[in-house]
Structure 1
Amino acid sequence: MSSAPLQLASLSGVEAAKRAAAYAAVDAHVGRNDRIIGIGSGSTVPYVVERIVQQGKDLNASRIFLPTGFQSKELIVSNGLQLGDVDCHPIIDVTIDGADEVDPALNAIKGGGACHLREKVLAEAAKNFIVVADYRKNSNGVLGTAWTQGVPVEAAEFAYSKVMRDLTKLGGKPVLRMGKAKAGPVVTDNG
């Protein structure tokens, strides 16, 4: 993945919207004094990293970037940014992440991309948590209208039956999400 900025004219309407949202989020929320930065996952995150790289090598040389999953780790490394982890940096200045759906009150569904637990840990550790979402992620007042696959829940393999039973007791209708190109369930970035 190239760190060179894409030309706006070469982007489709959706990609242009994602890029505009990511650039606006970085410009407004990743300041010169932010040194520990969480990088989330999803289709807007490459544009987040692209904009951070554009802030300059001198500034980024003093920063440490924490990924929520494989995609963001690869973006951090391939763009020459310093990789860190939450064990060494339990307080994060700002985390920027995507969302599956966001309602008008800024409630969100997250975790559909299988980085669920790591996204939550970096969000909770951040002084400022910023969600980047293009217009397709807006709900019409009620979560679940744009993202219809249900609320993602990550469960440890040994306990998934109990989690399914507990969710049913709460009134849910849990379904084990199966992998598309593999036999068996989706395995998250956290295993």
Structure 2
Amino acid sequence: MARPLFGGALSATIPHSAQDISELREIPDNQEVFAHRTTDQSIIVELLEYQSQVDNEEAARYHFEDVAGSNKACEAGSSEVRCVQGLPKAELTLHQCSSAWLLTGAQLVSKFNEEAKNTVNIHLCLFRLPQFSTDILVTFNDPVVINPLSSSKGTSPDAEMSSQPWTEQDFKAVLQSLQLLDPGVFG
């Protein structure tokens, strides 16, 4: 079932066991953040300024590096891009995008500025909407190795869980169901 985003201006199918993080803490107006209830996985939908200085595949890399900076994963060896590929528009419901790019990578990320770093697979999809001067970034953070000293310990993918972790298929369902309902959201 589609869930309204940004006050109903967009919608997408968000996976099972999703907690709307705005119910727990303040989230910037340009983000919708969902966390899995029993794992340390999260999905973030962001409305960002269109980066006209970089084209398509390079724009996905640009945003990945920006996420790495936010995650303090900028040091050498702390982040890597594994693959970037275009998504066929025929598979998407966000028909207003000029292109969509799926990037898969990994970053070493610490939570709450801790010393302990966790290995997180990053699945990122960039929807380019130059006519609205907007890039929509959808990110799936999927921890694969939790440092024993991390506050995330106990939410490890290996821990016994009451519900299944999200999969890449769950993420693709978000991407394929994302719809723009009110272009006024872009100002």
User: TM-score interval w.r.t. the shorter chain?
Assistant: under 0.3
Structure with the bigger percentage of helix: 1
* Higher share in strand: 2
Question: Relative contact order (C-alpha < 8 Å, sep 6+): which is higher?
Answer: 2
TM-score by length of structure 2 reads 0.28
TM-score normalised over the length of structure 1: 0.27
Q: Which has more radius of gyration?
A: 1
